[in-house]
Amino acid sequence: MKLNNKPKILDKGAVMATVRKLLKEFQNLFSTCDADVGRCNMTQHRINTGDHPPIKQYRRRLPLVRKEEADHLGKEIVDNGIIEESSRPWASTIVLVKKKDGSTRFCADCRKLNEITKKDSYSLPRIDDTLDALNGSQWLTTLDLKS
């Protein structure tokens, strides 16, 4: 694949001014803290389990210290609107995972759900088609999304 156009050399000051303007204009799209993970209501996700009956897992027994940590983390993510209480018949248990920095990640153990989920078959886009779609673009960036 050949690039037909050489990139323009841009004035760093003008680029920085444009970036600042865009950041200010769209500041509501950026997180202000770790708990601010944003919301997207543009689509709904459905997990296809066919006609399998609901799987309800109960909370595993934890040592008291880990239970207090799980309760604290659970309350925090409920208070931040990341998860909500549910009375639906489906339920996965939680797992507390130590991160490299020593803090704890609150996770759902969805292995049983994954076993019965009907797989979607979406092919990845072709790289050359993706690059063609960028033709004529003025900006290209990569983003590191919070996991």
**Is 113:53 a contact under the CB 8 Å cutoff?**
no
Q: What residue spans define the domains of the chain?
A: 64-116
Give the pLDDT band of residue 21 (cuts 50, 70, 90). Answer: very high
pLDDT tens string 60-72: 999 999 999 999 9
Which residues, in sequence order, are bridge partners of residue 108? Answer: 94
**Is 72:106 a contact under the CB 8 Å cutoff?**
no
Alpha-helical segments (H) within the chain: 12-25, 64-79, 111-116, 127-133
Instruction: State the DSSP code for 32.
Output: S
Residue 6 in this model has a pLDDT that exceeds 90: no
Q: Which of 39-43, 129-133, 140-144 is least confident?
A: 140-144
Please name the residues in contact with 46: beta carbons below 8 A apart, sequence gap of 6 or more: none
Integer Cα distance of 56 and 45 in angstroms: 20
Helix (H) or strand (E) holding 97, with range, is strand 94-98
0.75 surpassed by pTM = no
Q: What is the pLDDT of residue 82?
A: 86
Look at residues 110, 109, 105 and name the one whose alpha carbon lies nearest to residue 34.
Answer: 105
Give the pLDDT band of residue 116 (cuts 50, 70, 90). Answer: very high
Q: What is the mean pLDDT of residues 8-15?
A: 78
CATH architecture of 64-116: Roll (3.10)
Phi/psi at 132 (5° precision)? -60, -35
Which one-letter amino acid corresponds to residue 106?
A: F
Burial 4-18 (b: 16+ CB within 10 A, else e): eeeeeeeeeeeeeee
